[in-house]
Amino acid sequence: MADLRFAGIGMTSARTRDRLVQRLREQGISNLAVLDRIRNVPRHIFVDEALGSRAYEDTALPIGFGQTISQPYIVARMSEALLEGGPLGNVLEVGTGCGYQTAVLAPLVERLFTIERIAGLLDRAKERLKELDIRNVKFHHGDGTQGWKSQAPFEGILVAAAPLAVPQALLRQLAPGGRLIVPVGEDGKQELMRFTRREQGVTRESLGHVAFVPLLGGKG
C-alpha cells in the first residue's frame, strides 16, 4: 500500500514527474543526481492530500504554520549549487519545513543535520523521512540562525528561509572550502547567495533573485 502511495496516480504519476524534470532541465538544472531525486521523491506526500494534484507543479504550496514547501526549481537549484565543487560530508540544513528538501538532498551527501524551529513541522518531517527509509539525517528543534555548533564544521550549509543579513554563526561553522547557500534580503528584494570559505576569506556570488519566507530566530 505504501509503494502505491509513493508511486502516485494521475497528477502524481511518474509521467507527471517526468514532465516536471523536463521543465527543470529547460530552466537550466543539469545535475543528473539532483534531477533523479526530484523525479523519485514523492512530493505529494509532503503536502495536504487536497493539494496532492498540484504537487508536481513548479510552484510553492502551503504546508501550514504560515510556511510553504519550496517550488521544485528552487529545491533543485539550491541543491545543485551546494553540490558544485565535489562530494560533501557533514551538511547542515536550516529550515526543515515539511522535509521535502531534506528528502531530496540527504542521499546526495554523507550526513545531513537539519534544524526546524516549528515543532509540529519537524515531527511531520521525521515521519515522512522514516516512511522513505532515509537514515542519514539527524533532526533538531531549535534556532537555525545559530546553526548547530556541536556538529560543526560543515562542508555545506543550505538555508531554506531568508535572513536580512547572513547569520555570522553559520559562516563561522563552515569548514575550509565549505559552501553556504542562502537567500538574503527583505521581501521582494531577495538574492540567492553562495558563500565559500577559502584561505583568503569568505567569497560570495549571487545566484539570482528569489522569494522566500523570512528566517526567524527562536523556537515556535
- Would you please indicate which residues are annotated as catalytic (active-site) residues? 70
| Phi, psi at 91, each rounded to 5° | -130, 140
Which residue do the cell numbers 541543491 mark? 79
* Alpha-carbon span 181 to 205, nearest angstrom: 10
Q: Which helix (H) or strand (E) holds 183?
A: strand 174-184
Strand 201-210 relative to strand 190-198: parallel, antiparallel, unpaired?
antiparallel
Question: Helix 32-40 crosses helix 14-26 at what angle (to 10 degrees)?
Answer: 150
The reply to whether omega before 62 is within 30° of 0 (cis) is: no
Question: Helix 14-26 crosses helix 72-83 at what angle (to 10 degrees)?
Answer: 60
Q: Which residues pair with 12 in a beta bridge?
A: none
Q: For residue 123, give the C-alpha cell.
A: 515531527
Q: Which helix (H) or strand (E) holds 1?
A: none
What 3-state DSSP class applies to 124? Answer: helix
Q: Which helix (H) or strand (E) holds 11?
A: none
